[in-house]
Amino acid sequence: MEGARRMPGEEGVWVFILLDMMTFSIFFLTFLYYRGQNVALFSESQSHLSQVLGAVNTLLMLSSSWFVATAVQAARRGLGKVTPICFLLAFLCGVGFGVVKFFEYGAKIRAGITPNTNDFYMYYYMFTGIHFMHVLIGMGVLAGLVQYSSTGGFDQKKMRNIESGATFWHVVDLLWIVLFALLYLVK
Partner 1 sequence: MMQLVLSRTTLIWLLLIAATAASVAMGHGMGVHAIRGAGAAIIVVAFIKVRFVILDFMEVRHAPLPMRIVGEAWVLLICAALILLYLKGEAIV
Interface contacts to partner 1, rule CB under 8 A: 1-2, 5-8, 14, 18, 21, 25, 28-29, 32-33, 35-37, 39-40, 51, 55, 58-59, 62-63, 65-66, 68-70, 73-74, 77, 79, 82, 163, 167, 170-171, 173-174, 177-178, 180-182, 185-187
Q: How far is the CB of 63 from partner 1 (least distance, A)?
A: 7
Q: How far is the CB of 135 from partner 1 (least distance, A)?
A: 15
CB contact at 8 A, 67 and 148: no
Residue number with CB closer to partner 1 (29 or 109)? 29
Residue type, 121: Y
Distances (CA, A) of 123 to 7, 45, 120: 34, 11, 5
- Non-local CB neighbours of 124 within 8 Å, separated by 6+ positions: 45, 49, 115, 183
Distance CA 66, CA 73 (A): 11
Q: How far is the CB of 151 from partner 1 (least distance, A)?
A: 20
Q: How far is the CB of 86 from partner 1 (least distance, A)?
A: 9
